[in-house]
Amino acid sequence: MTRVTRAAEHLSVEEVKQRMKSDPRPLYRQRWFIIYNALVDPRPAEEIAKHCGVKTPTVQQLISRYNRFGIAAVETSGKGGRRRAYLTVEQEQHFLAPFLTRAQTGELVTVAELHRAFETHVGHEVDDSMIYRLLHRHGWRKLVPRPHHPKAQEEAQESFKKNFPTRCAPSWQPERPRITDRC
């Protein structure tokens, strides 16, 4: 026999129904719909999940949180987010500021240098991919100085650019007579 999932009555059925219908955010409407089902017709979490179009663990976690914390468990700040970040976005911007000023003056900023500085700032080792994600998050991109030959002559390059023919001469040749073996 499976366990019946019941929701605690922090709100009346009518209040839950009203919130389910009037909430502008679809995520919260779905959460209230799950709670409404657990209040009106308590049954196993698998059936509620199937009825509401979610997975069973979603129902179990939501009802458990709702029973313990009430309305605050449903109306959270949202799903997703940066829960495992070393620094906030503002702290990351502050960390990258000196490197940005150096890059704007024309100096090279390498990932290895950023990686060492970030590890000393945080106080422990981090993976290389974390630095690349940090740079991508703040709009940095890979710029490499253009290769330059040490013996290059700018005057010769400019004169070549000016004197290079824009059109090539037609490369047709007159048709040659064909020789055949037939008589």
**C-alpha–C-alpha distance, residues 45 and 4, integer Å:** 7
> pLDDT (tens digit, 9 = 90+) per residue, 1-17?
578 888 888 899 999 99
Query: What integer best gives the mean pLDDT of the chain?
Result: 87
Query: With bands split at pLDDT 50, 70 and 90, how would you rate the model's confidence at 56?
Result: very high
**Can you give the pLDDT at residue 151?**
85
Per-residue exposure over 52-87, b if at least 16 CB sit within 10 Å of its own CB, e if not: bebeeebbbebbeebbeeeeebbeeeeeeeeeeebe
Q: How confident is the model at residue 48 (pLDDT cuts 50, 70, 90)?
A: very high
Share of the chain above pLDDT 90, in %: 55
Q: How far is CA 153 from the centre of its chain?
A: 46
Query: What is the C-alpha separation between 23 and 104, in angstroms, rounded?
Result: 47
Identify the pLDDT of residue 42. 92
Give the model confidence (pLDDT) of 141-163 as tens digits: 887 777 778 788 889 888 888 88
* Local confidence band at 171 (pLDDT 50, 70, 90 cut-offs): low
Residue with tokens 């490369």: 171
Is the full-model pTM beyond 0.75?
A: no
Residue 177 has pLDDT above 70, yes or no: no
Q: What is the pLDDT of residue 39?
A: 93
Q: Is the pLDDT of residue 181 over 70?
A: no
% of the chain with per-residue pLDDT over 70: 90
Per-residue tokens: 43: 């049954």
